[in-house]
Structure 1
């Protein structure tokens, strides 16, 4: 199972329409939740997301997403729990 790229920083950039945290559009977020969405689509979407993001935003996404995959929680949520 492919883990959702949501890293719990859910705010849409008004100029691009993409989430600041995960780089997805609202439509892509909706598709991720559908039961019939294939693993192939999700893998392709992850590639698209990584091409959309750059610099610190891409670095932050990769770090938090890897942490979420390995620990079941994004770094953002982990840090909230530790406060």
Structure 2
């Protein structure tokens, strides 16, 4: 199973249409939720996400997504729980 790239920062950039947190379009988010969406598509989508993000946004995504894979929640959610 491929873990969703959502890192709980769900705001869309009005100029690009991509989420500031995970870098996905609304259509990509919809496809992730479909049962018939393949793991191969999801793996390719993560590669596309990492190509479209840059700088601090890419580093933040990679750090939080890696944490989510290992711990079951994004760093953003972890920090909300801590406060």
With the shorter chain as reference, the TM-score category is: over 0.9
Partner of 1:69: 69
Q: Which runs of 4+ in 1 moved over 2 A?
A: none
- Unpaired runs of at least 5, structure 2: none
Paired residues, what number? Answer: 83
Partner of 1:13: 13
- Unpaired runs of at least 5, structure 1: none
For 1:1-83, what aligned pairs fall within 5 Å after superposition?
Answer: 1-83=1-83
Q: Deviations over 1:29-79 (max 9, x none)?
A: 000000000000000000000000000000000000000000001000000
TM-score, with length taken from structure 1: 1.00
